[in-house]
């Protein structure tokens, strides 16, 4: 018998997971059996519960991997206690955006993704911190944090809700001023990319590399409203680097100062900070992941 797997499923992720939780659980057990292994499947009860479940269970059995079943928010909660540990993270991408899974080339179809968990290789990726909060995919402030906040208030998740909220927010959102590493800037959004995309193939930093020991800082400068469709096109076709309204730099550490405590997001999870100083840093090669 192979080492067992621990699956932690967030029934609130994506649009499909909640009503199909039991079917997914059954598919997990069947796939484990196929590979002469076994799986324990746990369900989250509320926000942040996944982190507690990992901390409680990680040393109970010699897990081959602890698998996040959900989207980037669920991965964030499950990966936090795994940073710097030997147990690899597995991903069964059933969220709305699945940014980290897409960047890593993990299949999005249930059976293919499950198979990958039992047959894939383990690689070690960088992780990052925004004011001591770990993130794995992207974090930032500005328009995407505002959209993330409004998205979190919606009764439904999924791509169509995300697009609707983004479109509505676009017309009212005004660029903000920041001090980035001591330099005054204006930005529509300021992103720190560990992985290259927000999710749904919105490639904010297509050049981002999960193993280069650096973050890609992406500033979208203020732009005329008519330019929005071009920018959206560049975002979804991995061509943001060609835009005259975008600046990139690589960094291992950055400090942002704002006049008011900003709304940020980490892996798409919105958070209203109570401080105006934001420190972002990288932890090179600190998380093992099955790909």
Ligand X SMILES: Nc1ncnc2c1ncn2[C@@H]1O[C@H](COP(=O)(O)OP(=O)(O)OP(=O)(O)O)[C@@H](O)[C@H]1O
* Interaction site with ligand X (CB under 6 A): 10-14, 44-47, 49, 70-74, 77, 95-98, 157, 199, 268-269
Residue (30 or 56) nearer to ligand X, CB: 56
Q: Is 233 helix (H, G, I), strand (E, B) or coil?
A: helix
Q: How far is the CB of 210 from ligand X (least distance, A)?
A: 16
Q: In this structure, which long-range contacts are made by residues 238-246, counting pairs with CB atoms below 8 Å and at least 24 apart in sequence?
A: 238/203, 238/206, 239/206, 240/203, 240/204, 240/205, 240/206, 241/206, 241/207, 245/188, 245/220, 245/221, 246/218, 246/219, 246/220, 246/221
Residue (75 or 254) nearer to ligand X, CB: 75
Contacts for 214 with CB less than 8 Å, ≥ 6 apart: 126, 250, 251, 252, 282
Q: How far is the CB of 253 from ligand X (least distance, A)?
A: 26
Residue (158 or 175) nearer to ligand X, CB: 158
The candidate with the shortest Cα–Cα distance to 82, out of 3, 6, 25, is 6
Residue (144 or 269) nearer to ligand X, CB: 269
Q: How many CB atoms lie within 10 A of CB 183?
A: 7
Q: How far is the CB of 11 from ligand X (least distance, A)?
A: 6
Q: How far is the CB of 6 from ligand X (least distance, A)?
A: 16
Q: How far is the CB of 200 from ligand X (least distance, A)?
A: 8
Q: How far is the CB of 114 from ligand X (least distance, A)?
A: 17
Pair 62, 266: CB distance under 8 Å = no
Residue (32 or 53) nearer to ligand X, CB: 53
Pair 4, 63: CB distance under 8 Å = yes
Residue (74 or 191) nearer to ligand X, CB: 74
Q: CA-to-CA distance for 120 and 257, rounded, in angstroms?
A: 42
């Amino acid at each position: 018998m192979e080492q067992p797997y621990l699956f932690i499923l967030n029934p609130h992720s994506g649009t499909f997971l909640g009503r199909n939780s039991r079917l997914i659980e059954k598919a997990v057990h069947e796939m484990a059996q196929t590979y002469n292994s076994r799986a324990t499947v746990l369900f989250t009860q509320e926000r942040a519960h996944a982190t507690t479940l990992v901390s409680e269970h990680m040393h109970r059995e010699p897990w081959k991997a602890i698998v996040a079943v959900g989207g980037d928010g669920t991965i964030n909660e499950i990966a936090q206690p795994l940073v710097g540990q030997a147990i690899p993270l597995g991903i069964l991408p059933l969220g709305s955006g699945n940014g980290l899974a897409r960047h890593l080339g993990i299949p999005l179809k249930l059976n293919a993704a499950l198979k990958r968990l039992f047959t894939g290789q383990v690689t070690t990726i960088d992780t990052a911190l925004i004011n001591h909060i770990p993130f794995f995919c992207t974090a930032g402030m500005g328009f995407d944090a505002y959209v993330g906040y409004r998205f979190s208030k919606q009764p439904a998740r999924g791509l169509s809700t995300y697009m609707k909220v983004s479109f509505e927010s676009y017309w009212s959102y005004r660029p903000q001023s920041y001090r980035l590493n001591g330099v005054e800037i204006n930005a529509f959004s300021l992103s720190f990319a560990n992985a290259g995309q927000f999710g749904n193939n919105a490639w904010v930093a297509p050049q981002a590399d999960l193993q280069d020991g650096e973050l890609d800082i992406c500033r979208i400068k203020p732009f005329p409203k008519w330019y929005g469709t071009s920018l959206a096109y560049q975002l979804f076709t991995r061509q943001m680097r060609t835009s005259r309204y975008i600046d990139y730099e690589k960094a291992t550490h950055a400090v942002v100062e704002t006049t008011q405590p900003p709304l940020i997001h980490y892996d798409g999870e919105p958070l209203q900070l109570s401080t105006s100083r934001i420190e972002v840093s990288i932890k090179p090669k600190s998380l093992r992941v099955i790909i």
